[in-house]
C-alpha cells in the first residue's frame, strides 16, 4: 500500500517485477503472444500479429485512463484491450480487428498473473537458497558449540548452536522445495474464451492453446481453470509455509538477541536498527520484518483459500479477491526471505556467552542428564523425583546441582562420583547432535550441487516479458 | 498495491486520506503538535515550537530518502525526524534540538494512525449512511411487493422486497453503529516516550499529554497503549462486521440479478460492467467489489487480532504487521461501502418479474402456508406430509398445488374451498412483513433526525492535519 | 474436539454450559417458551402449552437418534422437533399438533445459540473481572518496583512492574467492556418463521414475538435476523479482542519467566507445568493456554466474518459454519480467561531480580536518560550520538556508562557530576509511571464499585434454561 | 465440538480414527514401539519391552484421571506416561523403569499425530477418488449436453454440462495429488528427546531412530522437527486446497439447484434435506456441508501457519495450538469429501431444463458467438457494439436476437443468412468442449489404472495402531 514501507517489508527485485508498469506490460505481452499463436495457426490473418506485437508496449498506454476504465468496467483487461486496439488501429486498422481475438479478460489476467508468480517465485527460491546457505555456514561453524536448549521458553538442556542452525536449514530447504513444486504445477497458461470452450477458435482451439503456451514458455493445462483455483491456491499455501518457516528463524534470532541472552545479534550496519530515543538499543530489524510477514501471510493465504469456491464458469468476487492478494503474498514472502537471507548471512554469534549461560544457574541445565544417569538403577520416574529434589535445593540458593546430588545418599548409592561428574558435563550430553548436523549438511551439499547443475537451464519464466524489448530493465539483470 | 485497481476496490476520498503524502504530513503535524504542547507546558523553550511547526511540511521532505531511511532504520519515523530536524536547523538551530522531544517513534506513528483511522472511518460512516438511505428507500417503495423468499438457496415462501431491503437496512445501521463506537473508543493520542513512562517530561507528563491531545482534537488515554492494541483491533473488528454486512447485501443483489432470476439489476452506466467478449452481459460490478471485500477483510482482521500479543513495552513484528493492514482494511471497507451505496441508491427493480416468479412452479411456493392452514386440524407434522404429497404431484407434472390439494380428501375434509384458496394466496401469506418494515423505517427516520442534528458538530477528526496550511488539498474538499 | 484436552484449554463451567445435553435442553426450552407465548396470545390453544413444556426435557430424547437424524435432515432442530412432537403425543395428541408452531429450525437454533452465548459470555466477563483484579493487585503492590523496560525485544529503559501490570489491567478492562457491549447488543430472540415474515402467526406476530422474548429474558429485534449476522459476528469479534489482550499478558509472563530473566514465575502447584523429561523445568502452562488461544481465535473470528454474506432469507453453508465455531470461540476464550485469571492471581514476582537486571549491563539501560539530560545543551540528535559513543565503549568492555560519560569532555562541558549521576539513577527516570498507575487503579476501583452495585440484577441470561426444572445441574450452581 | 453434529459435518470412519480412545491408543502404541526399538538396539534391557507393549492398551487407562492430569501437567503425554508406568510396574517393576526412555512428551504426541494424519489422510484420498469417479461419470454422460455457461453470475454463452463436470474432476484430482504429496512428505517419526539431541540414547540415537520408524511404518527425518512445523503445515495447507476445491463444486451444485434454475438436484433420500416448515423444499444438504467446510477450513489453515514460529527447541503455545486444529481440519475436510462424493455419485441431472434455459431469453446467450461471426469483417470491438445494440432490442421486448440481427443492415451486409443462423446455433458454439472433456477423462482413466495397480501396497499407515490387538475395532473394518 505504502511506497515508503515497500523496501522495508519487500524485496526490491520482486517489487519491481510486481510493479504496475511491469505487470501491465506483461498483460500486453500476453495479448501479443495470443495474436502470434492465432496467426501461426491460421485463426487470424498472419499479417495481423506483427502490428499487435509492435503496439503492445506500455509506453503507448494512458495509465490514468486505464485506472478510470478499470473502475468503470470492473477489470483492467477491458480498458487495456480498448487502448491496445486503438493503438493498433493507428498503424493498421485491419489488424486492430483481431486484438484479443477469442479471449476473455480472465485469459489475459490469469496468464499474466501466472507469469508474475513464476518470475517473483523464482526470485524467492533464490533468496531461500541464500538463506539456506547462511544457515548451513552457521551449522558447520558452530557444530560443536554448546548452547542452552530451550523448550516452552524455559532453559532445558544443552544443544549445539550448530544443531539449532541445522534445524533452520532443514525447514528452509523443505519449504523451498514445497514452493518450487507448487510453482511448477502452476506453470500453465489460461486460455478458454468467454466460458472456457475456446468457442471462437473453432477446431483450432487445442493447437492455439499449445502454440500460445509455447510462446510464453508455459505449460498447457488439461482444461481452462477460470473457476478452478487450486493452482494459485497451492502457490499461496506454499508461500504460507515459507513465511511461517522464516518466522520461526526470526523469532529464535530475536529471542537470542534479547539483552539478558545476547548470544547472537543481527549484524551492525550504519543506521540499521537504531532507536529514535535510545542509543543503547540495536533493534533486530530483519527479524521484525520476517515476524511481521509471518503474522500477515496466514490471513492472506486464508483469503485465497476462502475465495476458491468461484461460481460456475467464472466467478464473482472470489476471482477479484485474488488480484491484489497474490502479489501481496509474493511481496511479503520475498521481503521475509530477503531479510532472513541477510540476517543468517551476517549473524554475529557470541559463543562465549552461550558457554557461560550453560554454566550459570548452578548446573540446573544438567538435571535431565543426571536423571537419565540415575534412571537405569532406580527407574525413570523415581530418578526424575530425586533430581527434582536437588533442583529445588539449588533454587533455594547456596548450592549447585553437582553438590546437591553428591550430598544425596539415594544418588551416591547408585552413581560413582566419576559417573556423576560425567553425567553433569554439558559436552557429554549432546547425544547425536553432531551426527544430525552432519546429515543435514550432507543433504544441503547435495542440493547445492544439483542447483549448480541446473543453473541457467530455466528459461521458462516470464519469457513473454523478457523477450519484449519494452520490458522494464530491472527484469533483465 | 496496485494503482490501477485502487479506484475499483476503494473510495477515492478515503484513498486520498490514506495516501503516502497525506500520511507523512499527518506524522509531521503530530510532531508539530507535540512541540507546541511541550512549549505550552514549559518542557521545551517557547521559541522552539514555531520553527518546528513551520518546517513540518511534506513539501520539505525528500520522499526517496525517507523510503531508503525506513528500510535501514526499521520505521519511517526515524528518517522523518532526521529530515525534520535538519529542516528546522536550517532556520533555527536552537529549535532543532527540541524536535521529537521525549517521544518515541511509536508515539508519532500511532497518533498519526489514529488520525488516519478517524478521518477515513468518519468517511466510511457517511458512506454507510448513504447505503442505509438507499436501502430505506427500497424498503419503503417495495413494502408491498411480493417476492419469492429463498432459504438455503431454494424457493421457499413469499416475502416482500421491502422486507428484504429492510433487512439490509437493519444490518447496515447496526454495523455502522458498531464502527462508530469503536472509532469513538479509539480516539485517543499515543504518548509515552521510550518505554511508556513519559520519562523525559519530568513531572509535566500528564499536562503535556493533555495539551497534546487537545491540540489534535483527540482524547487522553489512561495509559500509553504501545503494546495494548485492543483499540485498533476493535476498529478492525468493526470494519470486519461492516464488510460482512455489505457482502451479504451484495450477494443478494448478485443472486437476484442472475439471468434466470432477473428481479433486480445494478444500474446501467456507460461502460459499466461490460464484458470483454459478451455483449449480452451486464456484470454486477458493485456487488463484485463488495463480495471481494467480504472475502479479503476477514483475513486482515485475523491478522490484526493475531498481532495483538505484542511483547513488553513495545513489540517486535506485531506492531509492524499493523502498519499496512489497518490502512488496507479502511481502503477495502470504504470501497465496499462506496460500491454498495451506489448499488442501493440506483438499483433497478423489476417488480413484475418478482410477481411472475411467485406464480411460477404451479404454486409450490404456497406449500408452507397450505400446511399451516391444515395443521390446526391434523397437526403440524401430518399437515406437512399431506402437503408434501401434493407437492410431489406438482413436481411430477400436469397439475398445480391448488388442484392437487383440492383433489385430496384429507384436505377437503378439513378445509373449505374458500379457506384453501385463501391459504394459497401469496398476498395473504405475508404475515407481519409490513409491520416489520414500518418498524425498521421508523427507526431509520429517527436515526436520520439524530444525524442531522449532530451534523457540523464533529470537529475532532484529523484536525491536526486540517488546520495545517500545508495539508494536501484532497483532504479539504 | 477432544475430551481429555477440554479442561486444559477451556473453563469447566463454560464447557458445561456448552455441553451437548445442556444445549439440546436449551433448544427444548425455546420450543416450550414458544408454545407458551403462542398460547398466551391465542395463536395456539391454551391447553397445548403445558404438555409441550412438560415433554420438553432432554431426558426424554434419544440422543443417538438425534445425531443420525441431524446427519440426514441437515440440522438438529428437525429431529429434535420430531422427537418432541412424539413425546407430547404420548400424553396429549392434540397438543402435539402445535409443537414448533409457526417456527423454522433456525428460529430455535439461533435463539438457543443466543442463550448459550449470553450464559457463557457472562461467565467470561466474570473471569475477566477476576483477571483484572489480579492485575490491579500487582499494579498496586509493585507500583514502585523498577524493572527493565523492553522494546522490540531489547532492553530499553526502566519502567515499574506496577506500570506493566497497569497496562495489562487497562487492556483487560477495555476488552471486557467491548465484550459486554457486544453481548448486550446480541441479547435478542430470533423468531421469523420460514422466511422471516411470521406468516403463520397471522396478525399476532409482533405480540407473540414480544411474549416469547419476555419469557426467555431476551430482547426483541426490529426484524428477524436469519441472514443478517452482525450481532453474533460482533460477539465473535469482541471475543477475538479479549483473546488477543490475554495473549499479550501471557506472552509477557512467559518472556519474564525465561531462565535468563526469571523475574516472574507462574505459581507452583503439585504436578503443574512439569516436564516429562526435565526436573529442572517449570513450564508456564497458563500462559501456553492463553497464547494458544490467541493463535486459534483469530482464524475462528475470520470464519464468522467470512460466513456473514448469507444468501437471501436464510443462507446455505454460512449459517452452518457458525454452529460449531461460535461455541469454540466461547470455549477457547473462556479457557484463556480462566488461565490468565489464575496466572495473574497467583503470580510469583521476584523484585530482587528485577532490580539486579537494571543494574547489569554497565548501566546501558540509562542511555536514553543520559541523552535527554544532555540534549537541552547540545540538541537531541547530537546527544544521542554522544551517548551512543559511550555505549559502544561499554559494549567493548571494561567500563560503565557512568564512567564512559564522565570521561567525555563533550559531556562534562555541559553536565555537572551531580546532574550526570542523577540522570543515571533508574529511580529518577520513571517519569509519570506512578501517576499513570494511580490513574489506572482509580478507574479500576470505580468499576469494581459499579460491578458490586449491579450484582444480582442480571436475570436475563439463559433464563429459559434456568427456570426449567429439567436443566442440568451444572447450570444451577 | 458437538457430538450430534459430528456425522453431519464429518465422515464416520475418519471420526472414529480421530476419536479420543483411538488416539490415546496410538500414543500408547508409539510408547511400545519406542521401547521395542530401544530394546532391539540395546539401549534398554531386552526384557523391558514386552511388558511395556503388553500394558500399552487403552483399556488399562483411567481416562478421567488422564483429562485431569492433562489440565494439570499441560499435556496429555505426561499423565499417560505415568499411568503406563504404573500399569507396567504392576506386572514388572524393573521394566517400568524404562517406560518413555529418552523421549520427551512431544516425541510421543507428534508421532501419534503423524499416524493419525496418515490414517485419516489416506481415507480422505479415497473419498476424493470416489468424488472424482462421480465427476468423471457426469463428464462422460453429459459430454454433449449443452447448458448455459455463466460468468460473474450472469448467463453468458453455451457450454456442456460434461465440461462443467470435467472442470470439477480436474480440480478434485489435482487437489488430491497435492494432499497425497504433502502426506508423503510428512510421513516421518518424531524422536529427539528433551531438546532434539537424542541425548539419552548415547551413540545409539540414529539406530534407535531408524528402528523406531521401521516399527511404525514411517520414515526417518534428517533432524528432529519439534519446532520446525513445515510438514504438518503443508498437510494443513493441502487440506485447505481440497476443501476449497470441493466448496467450488458444492457452490455450483447449489446454484444449479435453485428453484429458478433447477438443472440439477441432490439425490432424494428419506428424510434428507427436509425443511422443518416447508414441504416444497429440498435442501442441498451435501452442498451445505461442503460450503460450510470451505468457510471453516481457511481459518484453521491460517491458524496452523500462524503457529509455525515456535520458539527455540520446542515452542510455547504454537505447538499447543495445533493439537485440536489438525484433527479438526481432517474432520471437516473428510466430511466435505464424504458429502461431495455422495452428491456427485448420485446427482440428479435435468438435461431438458438445461436445453430449455439455453433457448430462453430470445437467444441472448448467443450474442458472443454472433459478435465473433461478424468480427472478421468489422473488427472485434465494432462487432461487439453491433450485437450489443441488438441485445438491447431483445431486452426491450418483442423480438429475438436472431430477428434483431436479421433486421440490421450492418449485419446483413457482412453475414449471409445461413452463416448468421449457424452462428446462432448453440450446438455449434461449443468450441473444443468435447476435446477438453475427452482429455480430462483420458487422464482420469490413466490415474484409475495407476490406483488399481498400487492398491494393497500401502502398509505404512497407522501400522502401530493396526498391529496392536487392543486397537478399537472401527479401525479394522
pLDDT digits (tens, 9 = 90+) for B240-289: 999 999 999 999 999 999 999 999 999 987 777 777 778 888 899 999 99
Chain C contact for A277 (CB, 8 A cutoff): yes
Task: Find how far residue A327's CA is from the centre of its chain.
Answer: 13
Q: Is the pLDDT of residue A163 over 70?
A: yes
Cβ-defined contact of D291 to C194 (cutoff 8 Å): no
Of B290, B299, B320, the CB nearest to A299: B299
Name the least confident of A142-156, C141-155, C450-464.
C450-464
Q: What is the CA radius of gyration of chain B?
A: 29
Q: Which of A77, A70, A113 is nearest to A225 (CA)?
A: A113
Could you tell me if D245 lies within 8 Å of chain A, comparing CB atoms? yes
Contact C367 A280 (CB under 8 A): yes
What per-residue confidence (pLDDT) applies to A456? 54
Grid cell, residue C327, equals: 461455541
In the predicted model, what is the mean pLDDT of residues B65-92? Answer: 96
Looking at CA atoms only, how far is residue B299 from chain D in angstroms? 8
Q: What is the pLDDT of residues C193-210, one digit of tens each?
A: 999 999 999 999 999 999
> By mean pLDDT, which of A31-45, B457-471, C372-386, D66-80 is the weakest?
B457-471
Report, as ranges of residue numbers, the positions in chain D whose pLDDT lies below 70.
1-2, 454-477
> What is the C-alpha separation between D99 and A379, in angstroms, rounded?
9
Question: Which tens digits make up the pLDDT trace of B365-399?
Answer: 999 999 999 998 998 889 999 999 999 999 888 89
pLDDT of residue C463: 38
Please give the Cα distance from D175 to D169 (Å, whole number).
Answer: 10
pLDDT, position B465:
44
Cα(B82)–Cα(B73) distance, integer angstroms? 11
Contact B281, D156 (CB under 8 A): yes
Share the mean pLDDT of chain B.
92
Q: Check D280 against B155: CB less than 8 A apart.
A: yes
pLDDT band at B361 (very low <50, low <70, confident <90, very high): confident
Band of residue B320 on the pLDDT scale cut at 50, 70, 90: very high
Asked if the Cβ–Cβ distance from B283 to D152 is below 8 Å, we say yes
C360-410 tens-digit pLDDT: 888 999 999 999 999 989 988 899 999 999 999 998 888 999 999 999 999
pLDDT at D456: 54
Average pLDDT rounded to a whole number, residues C200-227: 96
- Among this protein's residues, is B275 annotated catalytic? yes
What pLDDT score was predicted for residue D454?
67
Q: Is C86 on the interface with B (CB under 8 A)?
A: no
Best to test chain B binding among A294, A315, A320, A336 (most B CBs inside 10 Å): A320
First-to-final CA distance of chain C: 25
Please identify which of the residues A314, A338, A393, A475 carries the catalytic annotation: A314
8 Å CB contact of A381 and D82: yes
Q: Strand B264-265 relative to strand B348-349: parallel, antiparallel, unpaired?
A: antiparallel
Q: Which residues contact B7 (CB under 8 A, 6 or more apart)?
A: A67, A68, A70, A71, B15
C-alpha A398/C-alpha B409 separation (Å) is 97
A151 - beta bridge partners?
Answer: A154, D314
Q: Which residue has the cell 515499574?
A: C160
Summarize the confidence of residues A22-37 as an average pLDDT: 98
D305 Cβ under 8 Å from any chain B Cβ: no
* Residue to substitute from B31, B38, B80, B167, interface C, most C β-carbons within 10 A: B167
CA torsion angle A242 A243 A248 A249 (round to 10): 80
C163-188 as b/e, with b when 16 or more CB fall inside 10 Å?
bbbbbbbbbbbbbbbbbbbbbebbbb
> What's the CA gap between D371 and D386, in Å, rounded?
8
What confidence tens digit (pLDDT) does each residue in A300-322 have?
A: 999 999 999 999 999 999 999 99
Q: In the prediction, which pLDDT does C466 show? A: 38
Long-range contacts: C388-397, Cβ < 8 Å, 24+?
Answer: C388/A279, C391/A279, C391/A280, C391/C364, C391/C367, C394/C361, C394/C362, C394/C363, C394/C364, C395/C364
Cβ <8 Å between B357 and D260: yes
Half-sphere exposure of C193 (CA within 13 A, CB side): 27
pLDDT the model gives residue D341: 98
Q: Which three cell numbers stand for residue C284?
A: 508456564
User: Left (φ > 0), alpha (ψ -120 to 50) or beta: where does C9 sit?
Assistant: alpha
Burial B45-83 (b: 16+ CB within 10 A, else e): eeebbbbbbbbbbbebbeeeebbbbbbbbbbbbbbbbbb
Between A241-245, C12-16, C373-377, D455-459, the lowest mean confidence (pLDDT) is in: D455-459
CB pair distance less than 8 Å for D375 and A440 = no
Chains that touch C (3 or more CB pairs under 8 A): A, B, D
Q: Does residue C269 sit at the D interface (CB-CB below 8 Å)?
A: yes
3-state secondary structure of A314: strand
Helix (H) / strand (E) element for D27: namely helix D20-40
| pLDDT given at position C461 | 40
User: What is the DSSP-derived secondary structure letter of residue D273?
Assistant: T
> Which residues of C are known catalytic residues?
275, 314
C46 touching B, CB under 8 A? no
Q: From CA B344, how far away is CA C10, in angstroms rounded?
A: 44
User: pLDDT at residue C472 above 70?
Assistant: no
Q: What is the pLDDT of residue B212?
A: 98
- Residues in chain A closer than 8 A to D372 (CB atoms): 102, 199-200
> Which positions in chain A touch C151 (Cβ < 8 Å)?
275, 278, 281
Task: List the single best residue of B262, B278, B392 to mutate versus D (max D Cβ within 10 A).
Answer: B278
Q: What is the residue whose three cell numbers read 504454537? A: D318
pLDDT at B454 over 70: no
pLDDT at D461: 40
pLDDT band at C454 (very low <50, low <70, confident <90, very high): low
B-facing residues of C in 396-425 (CB < 8 A) are none
- Sort out which chain B residues have CB atoms less than 8 A from D408's CB and list them: none
C-alpha span between D329 and D322 (Å, rounded)? 10
CA neighbor of D161 nearest in space, from D408, D355, D15, D311: D355
ipTM, interface predicted TM-score of the complex:
0.94
Please count the helices (runs of H) and the strands (runs of E) in chain A: 21, 4
Cα end-to-end distance, chain D, whole Å:
25
**pLDDT for position C462:** 54
Asked whether the predicted pLDDT for residue C2 surpasses 80, the reply is: no
**CA-based nearest distance C166→chain B, Å:** 8
Verify whether residue B287 is a known catalytic residue. Answer: no
- How many beta-carbon contacts under 8 Å exist across C and D? 230
Option in B154, B282, B365 nearest D154 (CB): B282
Find the helix or strand (DSSP H, E) in which D210 lies.
helix D205-216
Nearest Cα neighbor of B248 from B156, B182, B177, B164 is B164
Closest Cα to residue A204, out of C459, D431, B385?
A: D431
Check CB contact of C303 with chain D, cutoff 8 Å.
yes
pLDDT of residue D462: 54
Helix intervals (H) in B56-200? 63-73, 77-91, 93-96, 105-141, 161-185
Q: Do D233 and A247 touch (CB under 8 A)?
A: no
Tell the burial category of A174 from Cβ atoms under 10 Å away from its Cβ (0-12, 13-18, 19+): buried
Q: What is the DSSP letter of D462?
A: T
Burial A294-323 (b: 16+ CB within 10 A, else e): bbbbbbbbbbbbbbbbbbbbbbbbbbbbbb
Residues 138-197 of A with CB under 8 A from D: 149-153, 156-160, 163-164, 166-168, 170-171, 174-175, 178, 181, 185, 193-197
The whole-angstrom distance between D86's CA and the closest CA on chain A is 10
CA distances from C430 to A26, B175, B461, C158 (A): 57, 42, 32, 7
Given the residues D272, D275, D392, D432, select the one marked as catalytic: D275
Q: Does the distance separating the beta carbons of B288 and D152 come in below 8 Å?
A: yes
Stated pTM of the model: 0.96
The H or E element spanning position C348 is: strand C348-349
> Which of A397, A326, A410, A330 shows the shortest CA–CA distance to A370?
A410
Amino acid at each position: 500500500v505504502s511506497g515508503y514501507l515497500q523496501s522495508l517489508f519487500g524485496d526490491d527485485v520482486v517489487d519491481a517485477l510486481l510493479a504496475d508498469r511491469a505487470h501491465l506490460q506483461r498483460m500486453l505481452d500476453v495479448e501479443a503472444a495470443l495474436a502470434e499463436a492465432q496467426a501461426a495457426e491460421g485463426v487470424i490473418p498472419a499479417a495481423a500479429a506483427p502490428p499487435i506485437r509492435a503496439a503492445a508496449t506500455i509506453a503507448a498506454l494512458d495509465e490514468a485512463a486505464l485506472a478510470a476504465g478499470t473502475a468503470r468496467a470492473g477489470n483492467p483487461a477491458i480498458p487495456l484491450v480498448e487502448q491496445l486496439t486503438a493503438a493498433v488501429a493507428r498503424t493498421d486498422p485491419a489488424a486492430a480487428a483481431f486484438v484479443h481475438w477469442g479471449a476473455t479478460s480472465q485469459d489475459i489476467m490469469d496468464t499474466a498473473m501466472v507469469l508474475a508468480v513464476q518470475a517473483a517465485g523464482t526470485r524467492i527460491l533464490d533468496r531461500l537458497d541464500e538463506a539456506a546457505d547462511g544457515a548451513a555456514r552457521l551449522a558447520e561453524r558452530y557444530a560443536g558449540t554448546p548452547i542452552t536448549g530451550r523448550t516452552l521458553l524455559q532453559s532445558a538442556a544443552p544443544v549445539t548452536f550448530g544443531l539449532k542452525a541445522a534445524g533452520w536449514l532443514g525447514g528452509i530447504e523443505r519449504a523451498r522445495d514445497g514452493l518450487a513444486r507448487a510453482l511448477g504445477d502452476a506453470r500453465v497458461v489460461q486460455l478458454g474464451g468467454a466460458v472456457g470452450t475456446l468457442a471462437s477458435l473453432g477446431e483450432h482451439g487445442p493447437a492455439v492453446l499449445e502454440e500460445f503456451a509455447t510462446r510464453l514458455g508455459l505449460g498447457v493445462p488439461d482444461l481452462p481453470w477460470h473457476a478452478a483455483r487450486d493452482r494459485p491456491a497451492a502457490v499461496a499455501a506454499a508461500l504460507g509455509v515459507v513465511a511461517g518457516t522464516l518466522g520461526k528463524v526470526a523469532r529464535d534470532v530475536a529471542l537470542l538477541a534479547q539483552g539478558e541472552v545476547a548470544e547472537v545479534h543481527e549484524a551492525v550496519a550504519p543506521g540499521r536498527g537504531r532507536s529514535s530515543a535510545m542509543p543503547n538499543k540495536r533493534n533486530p530489524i530483519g527479524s521484525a520484518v520476517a515476524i511481521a510477514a509471518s503474522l500477515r501471510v496466514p490471513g492472506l493465504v486464508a483469503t485465497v483459500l476462502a475465495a476458491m469456491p468461484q461460481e460456475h464458469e467464472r466467478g464473482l468476487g472470489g476471482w477479484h479477491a485474488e488480484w491484489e492478494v497474490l502479489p501481496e503474498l509474493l511481496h511479503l514472502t520475498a521481503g521475509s526471505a530477503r531479510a532472513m537471507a541477510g540476517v543468517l548471512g551476517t549473524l554475529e554469534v557470541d559463543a562465549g556467552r552461550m558457554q557461560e549461560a550453560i554454566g550459570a544457574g548452578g548446573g540446573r541445565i544438567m538435571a535431565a542428564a543426571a536423571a537419565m544417569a540415575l534412571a537405569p538403577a532406580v527407574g525413570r520416574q523415581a530418578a526424575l523425583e530425586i533430581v527434582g529434589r536437588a533442583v529445588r535445593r539449588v533454587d533455594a540458593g547456596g548450592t549447585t546441582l553437582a553438590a546437591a546430588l553428591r550430598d544425596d545418599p539415594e544418588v551416591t548409592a547408585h552413581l560413582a562420583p566419576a559417573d556423576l561428574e560425567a553425567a553433569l558435563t554439558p559436552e557429554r550430553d549432546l547425544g547425536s547432535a553432531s551426527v544430525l548436523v552432519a546429515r543435514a549438511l550432507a543433504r544441503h551439499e547435495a542440493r547445492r550441487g544439483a542447483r549448480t547443475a541446473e543453473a541457467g537451464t530455466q528459461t521458462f519464466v516470464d519469457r513473454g516479458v523478457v523477450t519484449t524489448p519494452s520490458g522494464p530493465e530491472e527484469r533483465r539483470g
